[in-house]
């Protein structure tokens, strides 16, 4: 049996350590949050920027690539979102799960008069629950 070790962590933020070729809109030392979804970049869904629908999607930190627990991670430019200095990096690491919860509330078309059951104890359920409560 062959085992491949993967450095975990798909919800993370950090600072830019080095820039790849052609990246001109970021600076070394800039604070960023990472959208951790990996895709093939060529399918119908990727061209529509609906990366979660890609048939070949995966996550940094799960799908054979290093994750946020690594000292350094190489991330595609499209997956990097700058964050202001006023947001601590540990809070910025929650941008992705919070965005998933917010998106779920938006597409659900819930109204303040609707009843809603949120089931589950994971990160996504708790962020969905938070957004439903605030809506």
DSSP states along 10-63: SS-EEE-----TT--S--TT-EEEE--EE--S-SHHHHTT-GGG-TT-EETTTS
pLDDT beyond 90 at 125: no
Q: Model pTM?
A: 0.77
Per CATH, the homologous superfamily of domain 1-93 is: Medium-chain alcohol dehydrogenases, catalytic domain (3.90.180.10)
**Residue 10 tokens, joined:** 């798909």
Domain ranges of the chain: 1-93, 94-135
d(CA 116, CA 49): 29
Task: Tell me the per-residue pLDDT of 69-122, one tens digit each, with 9 for 90 and over.
Answer: 889 999 999 899 999 999 999 999 988 888 877 787 788 888 888 887 777 766
């Amino acid at each position: 049996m062959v085992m491949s070790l993967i450095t975990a962590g798909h919800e993370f933020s950090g600072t830019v350590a080095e820039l790849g070729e052609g990246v001109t809109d970021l600076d070394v030392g800039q604070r960023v949050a990472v959208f951790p979804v990996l895709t093939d970049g060529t399918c119908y869904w990727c061209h529509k920027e609906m990366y979660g629908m890609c048939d070949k999607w995966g996550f940094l930190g799960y799908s054979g690539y290093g994750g946020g627990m690594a000292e350094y991670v190489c991330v595609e430019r499209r997956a990097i979102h700058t964050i202001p200095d006023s947001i601590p990096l540990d809070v910025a690491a929650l941008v992705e799960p919070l965005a998933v919860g917010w998106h779920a509330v938006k597409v659900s078309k819930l109204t303040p008069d609707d009843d809603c059951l949120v089931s589950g104890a994971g990160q996504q359920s708790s962020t969905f629950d938070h957004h439903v409560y605030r809506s």
